[in-house]
Amino acid sequence: MVGFHGWPGACSGHVGGGQSGLPPAQHFTAARGSTELAKLDPAQYVRDVRTEVAKVTWPTRKETLITTGLVLAMSALAAVFFLVVDQLIALGMRGVFGLG
C-alpha cells in the first residue's frame, strides 16, 4: 500500500508494526473480535494501562544507582577524551598555521 507522499505503508494504518491493514481504531477492536470502530472509553484505557504497567519488571534501587553511576562515569570519560582530542587538534593547527 502506498501512503503519504508515495512512501510505502506511510499512512496504511499499521500500529506498532501490525500487519492487519485496519485503521488504528479498528485494529484494536479486531483483537477483541469486532471489526466496528472502537468507542472511546477512558476507564477501559486506564484499566489497560494499569494492567500493562503491572507486567513491567522495574529495576531495583541498587540497579538504578549502579546504572546512573556508570552513565555519569562514561559521560565524564567521554568529556575528557574529547577535551584531549580538541587540545591535540588545536596544537596541530597552531603548529601548521602558526595561529593562536
Q: At 8, give phi and psi (nearest 5°).
A: -60, 125
CA distances from 95 to 3, 42, 82 (A): 56, 67, 20
Residues 22, 16 contacting (CB under 8 angstroms)? no
| 83's grid cell | 577535551
Question: How much is the pLDDT for 8?
Answer: 55
pLDDT at 38 > cutoff 90: no
Largest Cα–Cα distance of the chain, in whole Å?
Answer: 76
User: Where exactly are the structural domains of the chain?
Assistant: 4-55, 59-100
Q: What is the pTM of this model?
A: 0.49
More confident residue, 61 or 28: 61
How far is residue 57 CA from its own chain's centroid?
Answer: 18
